[in-house]
Amino acid sequence: MNGRTPPTPQQIFGNLVATVLGSALTASGYTLQENPTHQSRGLFRYAKPLWDGITAYAEFQLLYYQGAPSRFRVNLLRNKGADARVQSTYADKVEITLSRLLWDVFHVEQLDTPDHWWTFGNQQQLGAGLIEAGKLLIGFGLPWLEGTLKPEDL
């Protein structure tokens, strides 16, 4: 025994998000917010400052189930202030899941439901889910969140 604690499922998830999507998020101007409390619960938030104190956020939220398939979803947030979910009077504050954005805003019903969660039973399935979610995030989510893509643009 080498004395090291094995990584938690949350750490594995965060590492895989960074491996699969980190370069694309960095190229888009997003950086991982270091928040050990959030990350220990499976919440990994990437942030990008926009203008006038407004920040865009892409969150990867894990629900881990021991002995059963786990799942994750992607949340999109935009807010003014110190945190993504701080109470704010900012009129264009946003909190929506990526799947809800696709269904309700863009009317793209590629996912099975507007409340879609990507499910996985192993790291290969997780990687495939992250690739699918990442394509939708980069193609729709981030541009919409930053105001550079509107439904009428399609």
Average pLDDT, consecutive stretches of 10 residues, N- to C-terminus, the chain (154 residues): 83 97 97 96 96 94 96 97 81 94 94 96 96 97 95 84
Residue 3 counted as domain residue:
no
Residue 2 counted as domain residue:
no
Residue 33 counted as domain residue:
yes
Residue 15 counted as domain residue:
yes
**β-bridge mates for residue 74, sequence order:** 60
Question: What is the per-residue pLDDT for 86?
Answer: 81
Q: Are 102 and 108 in contact (CB under 8 A)?
A: yes
Residue 24 counted as domain residue:
yes
How many domains is the chain partitioned into structurally?
Answer: 1
Question: What is the per-residue pLDDT for 2?
Answer: 62
Furthest-apart CA pair in the chain: how many Å?
Answer: 59
Question: What is the per-residue pLDDT for 69?
Answer: 96
Residue 4 counted as domain residue:
no
Closest CA to 30 of 118, 154, 100, 134: 134
In which domain, by residue range, is 127 found?
Answer: 9-153
Q: Are 16 and 126 in contact (CB under 8 A)?
A: yes
Scored b (16 or more CB within 10 A) or e, 112-150 reads eeeebbbebeeeeebeebbeebbebbbebbbebbbeebe
Residue 89 counted as domain residue:
yes
SS3 at position 30: coil
The residues near 132 (Cβ < 8 Å, ≥ 6 apart) are 118
Residue 41 counted as domain residue:
yes
pTM of the model: 0.92
